Structure 1
Amino acid sequence: MKRKKLLLSLVAVTMTIMTLATGCAKKSAESASGSSMKSIGDMHEKGLPIVDAGKYSFSLFADDSSKTGKYYMMPVLEKQTGIKVNLQTFPFEIAKEKLSLALSSGDYADVIAGWTLSDTDILKYGVDMKTFIPLEDYFKKYCPNIEKILDLPGVRDAMTAPDGHIYSIPYALEAPQVDFSPYINTKWLKKLGLQMPKTTEDLRNVLKAFKTAGLIPFSADPNNKHLNYLAGWFGMSMDDLGFTMADDKLTFGANTAQYKNSIKYLNSLYKEGLIDPEIFTQDLNQWKAKGAQDKYGVVIAYGSGDFMPYAAGSKPDWEPLPVLTSGDGSTPVWLRSSYGTSVLKNQVVITDKAKNPAAICRWWDNAFELENSLQTNRGPLGKTLIKEGDGYRSLDATKVLSKEEQDEYSWPNLWIQSLPHYIPAGFKVKEDNPAFDEKGGTDKAYQSALTKKPIPEYWVSVKDSAKFSDEQTAIKDYIKQKSAQWISGQADVDKEWDSYVKQLDTLGLQDYIKTRLDAIKQK
Structure 2
Amino acid sequence: MNSIFKKTISIIMVIGLILAIFSGCDSKESEKKPDTGNTSSTSDTVVSKDSNFNPEGLPIVNEPITLNVLTTRWGSMGDSFTQNQWLIDLEKKTNVKIEWQVQSLNDWGEQKSIMLASGELPEVIIGSQTFNDTDIMNNKELFLDLTDLIDKYMPNLKEAMKTIPEFKTIVTFPDGKIYSLPKNLPSRPMTCNQPIINKKWLDNLGLKEPTTIDELYNVLKAFKEQDANGNGDPNDEFPICGAKGLPMDLLNPFGITDLNGTNMMVLDDGSLAYYPITENYKEGLKWLRKLYAEGIIDPESFTQDATMQDSKRKNPSVSLVGFDYAWTPDALFGQWSSEYIALAPIKGPDGKQYAAGDKNGISSIMRNEAEITKFCKHPEVAARWLDQFYDGEASIQNFWGAIGTVITKNSDGTYTLNDPPEGTSADAWYWDQSLRDFGPKYVSPEFQKKIKLSPNSGDGLKLELSKLGDPYITTPYPNVMFTVEEHESLSSLLTDIGKFVETTRADWITNGGIDEGWDNYIKQLEEMGLDQLIKIYTDAYNRFKQAN
Shorter-chain TM-score range: 0.7 to 0.9
Q: Deviations over 1:221-276 (max 9, x none)?
A: 5378333x444423443454432111233321211211111111121222222222
- Distance in 2 between residues matched to 1:224 and 1:172, nearest whole Å: 32
Map of 1:31-180 to 2, 5 A cutoff?
42-54=52-64, 56-63=65-72, 71-73=82-84, 74-92=87-105, 100-114=113-127, 115-126=129-140, 129=141, 131-147=142-158, 149-150=160-161, 151-152=163-164, 154-174=166-186, 175-180=188-193
Distance 1:460 1:41, change over 3 A: farther
Q: 2:468 aligns with which of 417, 442, 445?
A: 445
| Count of residue pairs brought into register by the alignment | 465
Work out whether 1:478 is the aligned partner of 2:500: yes
Pick the structure with more helix per residue.
2
Which ranges of structure 1 fall in alignment gaps of 5 or more residues?
1-38, 400-409
Q: 1:350 aligns with which of 372, 380, 383?
A: 372
Partner residue, 2:247: 226
1:98 Cα offset (Å): 5.7
Distance 1:337 1:506, change over 3 A: farther
Q: Deviations over 1:444-499 (max 9, x none)?
A: 22233221x221112222233233112112222222211111112x2410111111
Work out whether 1:360 is the aligned partner of 2:374: no
1:97 Cα offset (Å): 5.3
1:315 Cα offset (Å): 6.4
- Distance in 2 between residues matched to 1:436 and 1:415, nearest whole Å: 14
Matched to 1:420, the amino acid is G
Partner residue, 1:294: 319
Which has the larger displacement, 278-287 or 431-440?
431-440
- Distance in 2 between residues matched to 1:253 and 1:433, nearest whole Å: 36
Q: 1:461 aligns with which of 461, 483, 506?
A: 483
Which ranges of structure 2 fall in alignment gaps of 5 or more residues?
1-48, 229-236, 423-428
Partner residue, 2:346: 323
Q: TM-score, normalised by structure 2?
A: 0.74
Q: 1:336 aligns with which of 343, 352, 357?
A: 357
Identity, in percent, stands at 29
Matched to 2:340, the amino acid is D
Work out whether 1:201 is the aligned partner of 2:210: no
- Distance in 1 between residues matched to 2:144 and 2:320, nearest whole Å: 53
- Distance in 1 between residues matched to 2:145 and 2:467, nearest whole Å: 39
Work out whether 1:243 is the aligned partner of 2:265: yes
Which has the larger displacement, 421-430 or 196-205?
421-430
Distance 1:381 1:133, change over 3 A: same
Map of 1:483-502 to 2, 5 A cutoff?
483-488=505-510, 490-502=511-523
Q: Deviations over 1:41-75 (max 9, x none)?
A: 64323322122132x44332334556678922444
Are the counterparts in 2 of residues 111 and 349 from structure 1 also a CA contact under 8 Å?
A: yes
Partner residue, 1:183: 196
1:501 Cα offset (Å): 0.8
Are the counterparts in 1 of residues 328 and 342 from structure 2 also a CA contact under 8 Å?
A: no
- Distance in 1 between residues matched to 2:242 and 2:440, nearest whole Å: 28
1:192 Cα offset (Å): 2.7
- Distance in 1 between residues matched to 2:112 and 2:286, nearest whole Å: 47
- Distance in 1 between residues matched to 2:221 and 2:478, nearest whole Å: 39
Distance 1:334 1:91, change over 3 A: closer
Partner residue, 1:517: 538
Are the counterparts in 2 of residues 485 and 491 from structure 1 also a CA contact under 8 Å?
A: yes
Matched to 1:237, the amino acid is T
Distance 1:394 1:417, change over 3 A: closer
Partner residue, 2:3: none
Partner residue, 1:213: 226
1:132 Cα offset (Å): 1.3
Distance 1:498 1:172, change over 3 A: same
- Distance in 2 between residues matched to 1:514 and 1:360, nearest whole Å: 39
- Distance in 2 between residues matched to 1:450 and 1:113, nearest whole Å: 31
Q: Deviations over 1:129-150 (max 9, x none)?
A: 3x31222343344334334554
Are the counterparts in 2 of residues 267 and 487 from structure 1 also a CA contact under 8 Å?
A: yes
DSSP 3-state at the match of 1:59: strand
Q: Please tell me whether Structure 1 or Structure 2 has the larger radius of gyration of its CA atoms.
A: 2
Which has the larger displacement, 232-241 or 91-100?
91-100
Are the counterparts in 2 of residues 197 and 321 from structure 1 also a CA contact under 8 Å?
A: no
